[in-house]
Amino acid sequence: MAVTELHRITTTLNKALDYIQDPKKTDNTLLVSGYACAPETAFHQFNQTKRNADKKDGTLAFHLIQSFAPGEVDYETAHKIGIEFADKILKGRFQYVIATHIDRGHVHNHLIINSVSFKDYQKFHSTASTLRLIRRTNDMLCKEYNLSIIENPKEKGKSHYEHSLDKKGQSWKSLLRKNIDSCIIKARDWDEFLLLMQREKYQIKSGKYISFRAEGQERFTRSKTLGADYTEEQIRSRISGGKRIEIENSQRISLIIDIENAMKERQRNPEAYKRWATLQNLKTMANTVNYLTEHNLLDYDKLSEKTEATRGSYNSTRSRIKEIEKRLKTIDEDIHNIDNYRKTKPIADKAETVVFKERYRKEHEADLIIFGASEKYLKKRFNGGKAPLIKELRAEQKTLQAEKDKLYESYYSEKSELSELQTMKKNIDMILGRDVSKEQERSRKRSGELE
């Protein structure tokens, strides 16, 4: 579990930066990192950005603390999570220094963020929406790294699946098929099934073939036209929980029949059924049957294969996004340091030729510190060679950002689909009373692969 706090820094920014970088708290500063600034010169670089923006007054920086539950995460992972957290909420616009403290009973990150963006010179705004973004991002990363989160149950809106059904609409037959499946599960005999269908606002016409008409539907629909498992004979058999009537060349697999039979078995023990048949369990069962029917995932192995295929696609997309984000972050730092070097080099060169060197250095102390940090960065980054042109870096940046934006469309879709598939498998295991201990063990081993 990780919790967050956000505070303003209005005075003594240098002391705050010194505090979070304390070698005794950060494993001799091994757990200190900076973005678009060197941690040891961050104070001057933050101020330089404010001078460039002509925004030197007001809040100097923001101090965000991210705390983890004792024993849940190791030092290096906590630092890695902190960096990912900062990159996601700041989107590469603000300089920051992050330090992981290990001197307490629980690991925690200190993040100091410049109050002014070095990219567009806009201020960082601490609003209710900012706090929601921080908490949402924090929870998402906790789930990625298999950490617990603070649950705050509220009445939930529609799931992605429910919303997609509403958005695209359903045919009369599709809706009838799902309602029949749902009523079969709840019904204990044929008469109760008919009553439940009437409660779903269906008119029922008996004869050689049973037919149903929904409210607003023009004509009746014969149930046998829905598929082999929807003839009256087959529906009666499914309600009774008896052996399924085998139909030659039927494409319908037995997973929903298994769910129905599990329900009928519970109904034979009234006391046990009463304990199990809460409103939530019945709703879960109905939603599960609807999902399986809608997506033609009527066999457990087929459902598992679909889940693994979606997981593979999702992880591949996520991995590529992370590669792009890492490269974009490097490009940002390269551009920032090349620009600083170019702007401050004439000042540094002049320091060697002026008559009153000490006075000159004192007057230009901040610029000379920034020059030294940028020069050190570029030498290390390019092994003493020539740095690329800023226009080349910006062209690459634009291309990668376009690719990232496109990938995110797939990412959110695959993430939602994977979540639904995993939920359906979990529901089925619960309904059928499957032994899921081995599956849970495999899931834990895969947790490092998932978002």
Rounded to two decimals, the pTM is 0.55
How distant, in Å, are the alpha carbons of 36, 45, 96, 184 from that of 17? Answer: 15, 12, 10, 65
Tokens of residue 234, six digits = 């087959």
In this predicted structure, what is the pLDDT of residue 283?
63
- Residue 39 contacts residue 16 (beta carbons within 8 Å): no
Res. 72 pLDDT band, cuts 50 70 90: confident
Residue 26: Cβ-neighbour burial (10 angstroms; 0-12, 13-18, 19+): buried
What 122-125 contacts at long range (C-beta under 8 Å, 24+ apart), as own/partner pairs, is 122/93, 123/55, 123/58, 123/59, 124/62, 124/94
The angle subtended at Cα 160 by Cα 144 and Cα 213, nearest 5°, is: 155
Over 80: is that where the pLDDT of 39 sits? yes
Low-confidence winner among 156-160, 177-181, 216-220, 262-266 (lowest mean pLDDT): 156-160
Amino acid in position 3 = V
Fold of the domain built from segment(s) 2-144? BirA Bifunctional Protein; domain 2 (3.30.930)
How far apart CA 352 and CA 357 sit, in angstroms, is 7
- CA pair distance 63, 110, nearest whole angstrom: 7
Spacing of C-alpha 333 from chain mean position:
26
The burial of 57, by beta-carbon neighbours within 10 Å (0-12 exposed, 13-18 middle, 19 or more buried), is given as exposed
Average pLDDT over residues 216-233: 85
For residue 365, is it left (φ>0), alpha (ψ between -120 and 50) or beta?
alpha
In contact, 338 and 387? CB cutoff 8 Å: yes
Residue 368 has pLDDT above 90, yes or no: yes
Cα(36)–Cα(46) distance, integer angstroms: 10
Between residues 283 and 94, the one the model is more confident about: 94
Q: Do β-strands 211-214 and 221-222 pair in parallel, antiparallel, or remain unpaired?
A: antiparallel
Q: Which among 221, 238, 217, 220 has a CA at the least distance from the CA of 229? A: 238
Neighbours of 444 (CB within 10 A): 10
Tokens 């085998």 found at: 246
CB within 8 Å of 402: residues ≥ 6 apart: none
Question: Which pairing describes strands 108-114 and 211-214: parallel, antiparallel, or unpaired?
Answer: unpaired
Please write the tens of the pLDDT for every residue from 265-290.
655 666 655 555 554 555 666 677 67
Q: Pick the more confident residue, 108 or 261.
A: 108
Task: Compute the mean pLDDT over every residue in the chain, rounded to the nearest whole number.
Answer: 81
